[in-house]
């Protein structure tokens, strides 16, 4: 843009024009770049709109739903995500611009934003992070107005914007906490609590969904993702911290955040978010991985720090070098992501070809994917075929566990697709994955079976002639399905006591189902299970699971606490928690 143009354009129009050009680039990128795994998962959400999902609030599903009418596979997921970025960046410019902005300030703002790695990626990738950034900007706008005047309108807008953050991603509420912490005198204002009540009322539909689903999302994020601490969690996080905020701006961040902390209420709130988010997630590495995109709201104060004149005045040559270098790098990466000249393998490349290969193997059969909650959605997007994700005890939970699509597969021949089961045939896919697949002739869904131990809370093993320990267990199985379930010579059904230990040893005690699980009835079955040699005495989390031999079985009982002990004769004793079993 030439200087003569700048005389005819206001700074606001300059920002708007540059953001529009950036949007066109994102639109092209969205159309030409293959879908990431999680994007396909959100496409699946969009076909089942609800107030909540297993692992996410619902806004991302709504955004994708609005795009489904587009016939291009990338844009049918990403269109409205691309529209959000120019909107929130323009609103943010209006919030932080100088009182009398000049052309140079407008140009610097967009250039600084374009040099932020996370803003490059999440400008076109359809994830909950795009609405999180949009909601963060709206919240900062509402917070700025509320800090100046606690009117009825400002109070309601503050509450609604806080609710939008919660509906986008749960940790978006950290933005609210840090902003309020930056101006504690607001705690004396009754309007702040009214705003909190507005947010709570707006959030009630999601809370009701959580209540009806046993608070599954909160349990998953607060407990299910916990792991024993490893140093790599923290070191990887610190390395990601440098990369996602563009390390070339470190000096500008430091110079910009310090004055922000003592400036107007908006910039002080931004400073608290800019420091609070990295510190909060640094501590979260004590219980597991902290993903880089969780830091996205902190990009906004970083952008403000770089844009503010005092953060780069006197070093404009360096500013231009960083912007130009970053732009060249990011444009090159964008081109490589589309063209893939080096033949890289990964989730955004060769999707259509890889899933067409699976479709050819299925030959019209439905496909049941094991231990993958994203592959079924990609399969449906790229082939239009029928697919389902079977839940698995040792795997990650997902929204599929509430899906009853598998009922339509009962009695049909299905292809079971797995990426780890060595008992099945093998195929190398175009996306670099190795697929294991096998066919079940008369498929019967079993995930709704309910099983429980019957008998004493302590079971002694018998020592067989082979020297291996064996356990004889009696298990009651409730079959709610309208069909009988039984093993055949080709498709063997196994009953397992699956346990997992602290050292990731996952042995299973198995027996072949010899009884018929009668439809709409309870069947008592006796299992003679060999105890694996690798099973060491100790406390385990376990579950009774039932399924075909050729794929991972579904959990059919509540999680159990089981303990294996050995007496002086090396005979295994199995103890279990009776209350947990009921």
Sheet containing 387-390: give its strands across.
387-390, 367-370, 414-418, 434-440, 425-428
The three state secondary structure string of 105-139 is HHHHHHHHHHCCHHHHHCCCCCCCHHHHHHHHHHH
- The C-alpha atoms of residue 349 and residue 432 are separated, in whole angstroms, by 9
Reported confidence tier of residue 571, pLDDT bands at 50, 70, 90:
low
**Residue range 83-103: mean pLDDT, rounded:** 92
- pLDDT for 504 equals 45
Q: Please give the share of the chain, as a percent, with pLDDT higher than 70.
A: 89
The answer, yes or no, to whether residue 356 has pLDDT greater than 90, is yes
Strand (E) or helix (H) holding 312: helix 309-312
Rg (CA), the chain: 28
Cα(101)–Cα(12) distance, rounded to whole angstroms?
9
The pLDDT of residue 573: 60
What would the 3-class secondary structure string for 482-539 be? CCCECCCCCCCEEEEEEEECCCCCCCEEEEECCCCECCCEEEEEEEEEECCCCCCCEE
pTM of the model: 0.90
416 vs 389: CA distance, rounded Å = 10
pLDDT-derived band at 397 (thresholds 50, 70, 90) equals confident
Examine the pLDDT at 245 and tell me if it is beyond 90.
no
Q: Which residues pair with 463 in a beta bridge?
A: 469
Average pLDDT score, the chain: 87
Instruction: Read off φ and ψ for residue 454, nearest 5 degrees.
Output: -125, 125
d(CA 75, CA 235): 36
pLDDT digits (tens, 9 = 90+) for 504-551: 445 567 889 999 999 999 999 988 877 766 667 777 778 888 988 877
Checking if the pLDDT of 561 tops 60, the result is: yes
Tokens for 263, please give them.
């400036």
The position carrying tokens 């379930």 is: 485
**258 vs 513, which has greater pLDDT?**
513
Highest average pLDDT, of 212-226, 418-432, 451-465, 477-491, comes from 477-491
> What is the domain partition of the chain in residue ranges?
3-339, 351-440, 450-581
Tell me how crowded residue 511 is: count the other CB atoms within 10 A of its CB: 20
Q: Quick one: which of 96, 116, 114 has its CA closest to 105?
A: 96
Q: Are 546 and 445 in contact (CB under 8 A)?
A: no
Count of alpha carbons within 13 angstroms of residue 134, beta-carbon side: 21
Q: Are strands 572-576 and 458-463 parallel, antiparallel or unpaired?
A: antiparallel
Two tokens at 564?
């294996």
**Higher pLDDT pick, 476 / 469:** 476
What is the H or E stretch that residue 554 is in? strand 554-555
- What percent of the chain shows pLDDT beyond 90? 58
Q: Please report which confidence band the pLDDT of residue 164 belongs to, taking 50, 70 and 90 as the band edges.
A: very high
Q: Write down the pLDDT at residue 502.
A: 44
pLDDT of 381 > 80? The answer is yes
Q: Which CATH number among 3.30.70, 3.30.2310, 2.40.160, 2.60.40 corresponds to the domain 450-581?
A: 2.60.40
Query: Which of 225-229, 433-437, 549-553 is the most confident on average?
Result: 433-437
Give 108's pLDDT tier (boundaries 50, 70, 90): confident
Please give the average per-residue pLDDT across 239-248, as a whole number.
Answer: 84
The C-alpha atoms of residue 57 and residue 166 are separated, in whole angstroms, by 7
pLDDT at site 582: 41
Report pLDDT digits (tens) over 273-322.
Answer: 999 999 999 999 988 888 888 999 999 999 998 887 554 555 678 888 88
């Amino acid at each position: 843009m030439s200087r003569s143009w700048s005389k005819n354009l206001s700074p606001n129009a300059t920002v708007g024009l540059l953001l529009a050009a950036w949007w066109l680039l994102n639109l092209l990128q969205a159309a030409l770049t293959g879908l990431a795994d999680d994007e396909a998962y959100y496409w699946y959400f969009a076909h089942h709109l609800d107030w909540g999902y297993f692992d996410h609030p619902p806004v991302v599903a709504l955004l994708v739903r609005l795009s489904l009418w587009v016939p291009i596979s990338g844009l049918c997921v990403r269109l409205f995500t691309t529209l959000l970025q120019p909107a929130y960046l323009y609103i943010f410019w209006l919030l932080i611009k100088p009182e009398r902005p000049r052309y140079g300030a407008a140009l610097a703002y967009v250039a600084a934003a374009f040099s932020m790695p996370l803003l490059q990626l999440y400008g076109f990738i359809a994830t909950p992070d795009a609405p999180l950034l949009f909601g963060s900007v709206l919240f900062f706008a509402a917070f700025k107005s509320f800090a100046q005047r606690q009117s009825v309108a400002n109070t309601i807008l503050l509450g609604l914007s806080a609710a939008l953050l919660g509906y986008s991603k749960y940790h978006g509420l950290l933005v609210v906490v840090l902003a309020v912490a930056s101006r504690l005198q607001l705690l004396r204002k009754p309007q702040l609590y009214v705003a909190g009540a507005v947010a709570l009322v707006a959030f009630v539909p999601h809370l009701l969904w959580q209540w009806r689903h046993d608070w599954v999302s909160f349990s998953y994020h607060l407990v299910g993702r916990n792991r024993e601490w490893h140093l790599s969690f923290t070191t990887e996080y610190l390395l990601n911290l440098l990369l996602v905020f563009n390390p070339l701006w470190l000096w500008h961040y430091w110079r910009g955040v310090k004055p922000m902390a003592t400036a107007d209420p908006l910039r002080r709130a931004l400073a608290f978010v800019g420091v609070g988010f990295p510190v909060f997630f640094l501590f979260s590495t004590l219980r597991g991985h902290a993903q880089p995109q969780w830091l996205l709201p902190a990009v906004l104060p970083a952008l403000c720090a770089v844009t503010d004149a005092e953060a780069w005045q006197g070093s404009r040559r360096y500013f231009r070098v960083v912007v130009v270098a970053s732009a060249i790098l990011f444009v090159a990466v964008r081109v490589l992501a589309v063209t893939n000249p080096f033949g890289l393998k990964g989730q955004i490349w060769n999707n259509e070809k890889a899933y067409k290969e699976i479709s050819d193997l299925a030959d019209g059969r439905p496909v049941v994917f094991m231990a993958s909650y994203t592959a079924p959605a990609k399969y449906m997007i790229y082939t239009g075929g029928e697919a389902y994700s079977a839940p698995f005890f040792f795997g990650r939970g997902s929204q599929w566990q509430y899906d009853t699509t598998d009922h339509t597969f009962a009695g049909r021949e299905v292809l079971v697709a797995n990426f780890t089961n060595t008992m099945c045939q093998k195929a190398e896919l175009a996306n670099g994955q190795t697929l294991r697949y096998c066919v079940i002739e008369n498929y019967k869904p079993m995930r709704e079976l309910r099983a429980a131990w019957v008998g004493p809370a302590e079971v002694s093993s018998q020592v067989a002639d082979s020297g291996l320990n064996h356990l004889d267990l009696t298990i009651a199985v409730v079959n709610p399905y309208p069909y009988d379930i039984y093993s055949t010579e080709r498709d063997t059904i196994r009953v397992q006591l699956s346990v997992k230990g602290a050292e990731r040893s996952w042995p299973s005690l198995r027996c072949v189902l010899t009884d018929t699980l009668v439809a709409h009835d309870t069947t008592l079955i006796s299992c003679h299970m060999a105890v694996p040699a690798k099973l060491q005495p100790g406390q385990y989390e376990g579950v009774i699971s039932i399924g075909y031999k050729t794929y991972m079985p579904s959990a059919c009982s509540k999680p159990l606490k089981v303990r294996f002990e050995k007496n002086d004769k090396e005979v295994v004793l199995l103890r279990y928690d009776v209350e947990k079993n009921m």
